[in-house]
């Protein structure tokens, strides 16, 4: 498993998909370190350690490259960042995608997603996903005081539970000093998230890019970093360099 993971890391590295490559390098290195611990053959241990050292050096170089990109990104907002999440990829929890843009000056958030709907909708956990997103906002380091949600009504019998669930989230956020404003639209199609520091994130699948967990007691049920994802694309812009909305 470790060899396959670092092989994938190298492929992504060569394709200049550095963020995804770094995740694979880190996972592969952890797996190979476990192999070293279990190996009694000293010659094999030495070879494994050499390869691990090479992968760690490359991972560190990629990390520095990503940090430099971030500095350029935040300096003037001209940079357009795109992340392609592959089918069954892990390591893409909400903190991974959003945390770097949730600076301390963020106090207002807009979420536009037509599918924040009934929790039992086929293969969708959108209401839980929205709740997880709100939990991330509450934890900080940003000082969010207002969240605006624009979504569409659930079709059929799920509408009443959709509304009651959103109202429950609304009340819970109020306990943390956060106001949730909810609006519904029958014509909304686009999915995007905006912060009042100017950053805008567009995700092809909205907040619902995680696969259904195998069971309530399976790894990844609670920790979204361990949950396999559907294939989707994430685009990050700054409103300073986009048309006024």
Q: Give the Cβ contact number of residue 8 at 10 Å.
A: 19
Q: What is the pLDDT of residues 118-143, one digit of tens each?
A: 654 444 568 999 999 999 999 978 89
Q: Rounded to the nearest 5°, which phi and psi values hold at 112?
A: -115, 115
Q: Which residues contact 61 (CB under 8 A, 6 or more apart)?
A: none
CA distance 19 to 16: 9
Give residue 119's pLDDT: 57
Give residue 113's pLDDT: 93
Could you give the domains of the chain?
A: 1-74 (1.20.58.80), 79-238 (3.30.870.30)
Give residue 122's pLDDT: 42
Q: In what order do the strands lie in the sheet with 192-195?
A: 81-85, 232-238, 199-203, 192-195, 108-112, 146-151, 179-184
Give the tokens for residue 130: 């929205």
Give residue 19's pLDDT: 80
Q: Can you list the residues of the chain whose pLDDT is less than 70? A: 70-79, 118-125, 240-245
Give the tokens for residue 217: 């007691």
CA distance 96 to 129: 15
Give residue 212's pLDDT: 86
CA distance 203 to 218: 26
CA distance 12 to 50: 21
The pTM of the full predicted model, rounded to 2 decimals, is: 0.68
């Amino acid at each position: 498993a470790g060899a396959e993971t670092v092989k994938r890391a190298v492929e992504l590295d060569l394709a200049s998909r550095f963020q995804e490559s770094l995740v694979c390098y880190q996972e592969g290195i952890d797996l190979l370190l476990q192999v070293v611990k279990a190996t009694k053959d000293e010659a094999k241990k030495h070879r494994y350690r050499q390869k691990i050292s090479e992968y760690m050096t490359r991972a560190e170089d990629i990390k520095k490259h990503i940090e430099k990109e971030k500095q350029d990104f935040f300096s003037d907002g001209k940079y357009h960042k795109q992340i392609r999440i592959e089918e069954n990829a892990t390591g893409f929890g909400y903190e991974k995608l959003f945390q770097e843009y949730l600076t301390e000056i963020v106090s207002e958030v807009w979420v536009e997603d037509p599918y924040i709907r009934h929790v039992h909708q086929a293969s969708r956990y959108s209401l839980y996903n929205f709740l997880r997103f709100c939990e991330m906002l509450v934890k900080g380091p940003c000082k969010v005081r207002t969240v605006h949600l624009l979504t569409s009504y659930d079709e059929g019998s799920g509408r009443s539970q959709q509304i009651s669930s959103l109202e429950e989230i609304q009340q819970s956020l109020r306990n943390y000093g956060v106001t949730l404003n909810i609006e519904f639209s029958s014509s909304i199609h686009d999915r995007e998230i905006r912060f009042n520091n100017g950053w805008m994130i567009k995700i092809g699948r909205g907040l619902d890019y995680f696969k259904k967990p195998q069971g309530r007691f399976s790894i990844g049920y609670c920790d979204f970093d361990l949950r396999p994802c559907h294939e989707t694309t994430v685009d990050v812009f700054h409103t300073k360099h986009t048309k006024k909305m």
